Each structure stands twice: as C-alpha cells, then as structure tokens.
Chain A
C-alpha cells in the first residue's frame, strides 16, 4: 500500500533553472512532511521539512509548498546547480509516538551545466 506517491520519476533541468518535484499522500493523520536528498552510496539526508499548519517553508534555494486540502506537497529548487544532482525523496509521518517515515518512490534529478 503506497501511501505517498511521488512524481516525476526522473527530472533533467538546466543549471539555473527551477526543479519541481511533487508528492501526494493519503493518510490524513500525517503531520510531518520532510524531503530528503540522497547521493549514491549514502544514506538520505534531511533537506527541509514542513508541518501542516503552514502552507510554505523556504530555506535558501529550497521551498516546500503544502496544500492540506489537496493532500499534496512539493519541493522547489531554485537556481538549480550541478551539485544538486541526486535522488530526492518526499516522506511523511505521524509524529505522535514518533512513527516511522513513509517514503515516496524517489525522483532522480540531473542538473546539466
């Protein structure tokens, strides 16, 4: 049962462009929505996270947009750089009881110089 659906599967963006990755969730009990960045051979690293009481969160070039009514959230990477080339995962969890993260299937981002 896939509770978090992520798209696109892969994305190619030119340097300086905007990368947009989308996720949709089913479980309305989710109350924590992080994005992770993963490089080959490494574990996922937290990039940015949002809680459902806000609609947008920005940290540097990375922005999460959150639409609670549509049960969707997205990651925007502004001014994309070749160093951003990695796999990005959205995730969701129910923080009460520190429930485990449910991950999306991942988006492989390639930023061309």
Chain B
C-alpha cells in the first residue's frame, strides 16, 4: 500500500534554532498538505499545495514558517527561528483524484 513518507520521525531543537521537515507524497498525488497537531487536539492546516503552487497558506505563520514544493513532488517545511510553542506533531498528507487523503506518520518536534 502506498504511503506518505516523512522525515525525521523525531526532532529536538533548541529555541531560536532552525528546523526542517521533509515529506514525499504518494506518487501521482498532486495535492499536498502540511498540518500541525498539538498534543490532545485535532490537526490544523498550515499550508496546501496543488502541484508546485500554494493554494492556501492563510494559517501559516509566515514570519517564521516557510514551505516549498519546488518540482511539485516532495516538500519541505521550515521553521526559523523555532519557539517553545512550536512543539507539536507536523503531519504531511496528500490526495489524488478521488476523495481520499492519506497522512504520513508525522514528525514529532520538541523545542527546548
């Protein structure tokens, strides 16, 4: 079964440092999403890509967060500088031509 790949699985970083997460969606899925899930809450959208274009980044804290999907395949989400409140699970998901959305296993970020 096809999967959404994310790395790293876990990341511990110090406050004010830069951190980056990588996502490889299911082959052929044109739409890619980055979500943030704070412990005990539901995932919240950060950014949505259609191919290499940003469709929705209205909830992305653009002063410190950036996301790119240069060739319309894999994607990178960056935080610089990281803050204590950024500690969360960062989830990537992709969707194709049907209604399904497939999530990766996520990157657990801890900012100390």
Interface residues, chain A, with chain B CB atoms under 8 Å away? 6, 32, 34, 36, 41-46, 49, 51, 89, 91, 93, 95, 97-106
A105's nearest neighbour on chain B, judged by CB, is B42
Number of A-B pairs whose CB atoms are under 8 Å?
A: 57
Residue interface bits B87-112, CB-to-A below 8 A is 1, else 0: 00001010100011111111010000
CB nearest neighbor in A for B44: A103
Can you list 10 A-B pairs with a CB-CB distance of less than 8 A?
Answer: A6-B42, A43-B93, A44-B43, A49-B100, A98-B95, A101-B45, A101-B93, A103-B44, A105-B41, A106-B40
Q: In the complex, are the beta carbons of A106 and B41 less than 8 A apart? A: yes
Point out the residues of chain A lying under 8 angstroms from B75, CB to CB.
none
**For the complex, is B50 an interface residue (Cβ under 8 Å from A)?**
yes
* From B31, B56, B103, contact of A43 by CB (8 A): B103
Could you list which residues of chain B lie within 8 angstroms of chain A, going by C-beta atoms? 4, 31, 33, 35, 40-45, 48, 50, 55-56, 91, 93, 95, 99-106, 108
A1 smallest CB distance to B (angstroms): 11
Main secondary structure of the interface of B (DSSP, over half): strand
Q: Closest residue to B95 on the A side, CB-wise? A: A98
* B105: A residues at CB distance < 8 A: 41-43
Known: A41-B108, A43-B105. A100 touches B33 (CB 8 A): yes
Residues of B within 8 A of A97 (CB): 55
Q: In the complex, A42 Cα to B103 Cα: how many Å?
A: 9
Task: Please determine whether A46 and B41 come into contact, CB atoms closer than 8 angstroms.
Answer: no
Instruction: Report the minimum CB–CB distance from B99 to chain A (whole Å).
Output: 5
Question: For the complex, what is the distance from the CA of A105 to the CA of B41, rounded to whole Å?
Answer: 5
Task: Assess whether B102 is in contact with A42, with CB atoms less than 8 Å apart.
Answer: no
